[in-house]
Amino acid sequence: MNRRDDYRRELRAYLTGLGLAVVLSVLAFGAVGLAEGVPGAISRSTVVWTIGLTAAVQVVVHFRYFLHIDLTRSKRDDLQLILFSALIVLLMVAGTLWILGDLRDRMMAVL
């Protein structure tokens, strides 16, 4: 394989990534815009879910196309570290929300 092919493959990957990123962003913003612009068109929870899901896919797209993380063996260390980071951040954020939410509820109950 020559350098030109390499270059074209890289370029295609970046462009695919860019395209997907734009589409996902438009979907999220579009959902909000629709809910704002046309009252009653879609429910609030649909908007929230749309944003959440597109954000999650967006993360994957960035890792896959921009940071070149995939399932090949040579990328395994990186992938493991990313998954581990995700796990720890999830534990911290979810735990914090749970604990402080619980505390708030209990204080409100007293008031």
Partner 1 sequence: MSGADLWHLLFGKLSADALPFYSAIAATAAGVVVCGALGAALLITWLGRWRYLWREWFTSLDHKKIGIMYVVLSLVMLARAVVEACMMRMQQAVAFDSAGFLPPDHFAQLFTTHGTIMIFFMAMPFLTGLINFVMPLQIGARDVSFPMMNSVSLGLTTAGAGLMMVSLVLGKFSTGGWSGYPPYTELGFNPGVGPDYWIWAVTLSSLGSTLTGINFAVTIYKRRAPGMTLFRMPLFCWTALCASILMIFAMPPLTVATALLACDRYLGMHFFTNSLGGNMMNFANLFWLFGHPEVYILILPPFGVWSEVIANFSAKYLYGYRSLVYATMAIAVLSFTVWVHHFFTMGQSADVNAAFGIATMLIGIPTGVKIYDWMLTLFRGRVRFTVPMLYALAFLLLFPLGGLTGILLANPAVDYQVHNTLFLVAHFHNMLIPGLLFGMLAGYHYWFPKAFGFRLDEVWGRIAFALWVAGFVLAFMPLYALGLMAMPRRTDAFFEAAYLPYTLVAAFGALLILAALVSLCVQVWVSVRRRRETEVFAGDPWNGRTLEWATSSPPPDYNFAVLPQVEGRDAFWLMKQDGRAYRTPDRYEDIEVPRNSAMGPVVGMAGAAAGFALVWHIGWLAIIGVLTMGGALIARSFVRHTTRTIAADEVRRIEARWRDAVAASPGVTRDDETTPANRGHAAMEVA
* 11 belongs to the binding site for partner 1 (CB under 8 A): no
Q: CB neighbours of 24 closer than 8 A, spacing ≥ 6?
A: 54, 57, 58, 61
Q: Which is nearer to partner 1, 59 or 93 (CB)?
A: 93
Residue the block writes with tokens 């749970």: 98
Q: Which is nearer to partner 1, 9 or 68 (CB)?
A: 68
Q: Which stretch binds partner 1 (CB under 8 A): 15-23, 33-41, 50-58, 103-111?
A: 103-111
Side chain identity, residue 5: D
Q: How far apart are CA 63 and CA 75, in angstroms?
A: 11
Report helix, strand or coil for 69.
coil
26 binds partner 1 (CB under 8 A): no
Residue of 9, 42, 84, 86 that binds partner 1 (CB under 8 A): 84
Asked if 95 touches partner 1 (CB under 8 A), the answer is: yes
Query: Is residue 100 within the footprint of partner 1 (CB under 8 A)?
Result: yes
How far is the first Cα of the chain from the last one, in angstroms, to the nearest whole number? 72
Asked if residue 83 binds partner 1 (CB under 8 A), the reply is no
Kind and range of the H or E run holding 87 = helix 76-110
Which residues in this chain contact partner 1 in the complex, by CB under 8 A? 77, 84-85, 87-88, 91-92, 95-96, 98-100, 102-103, 106-107
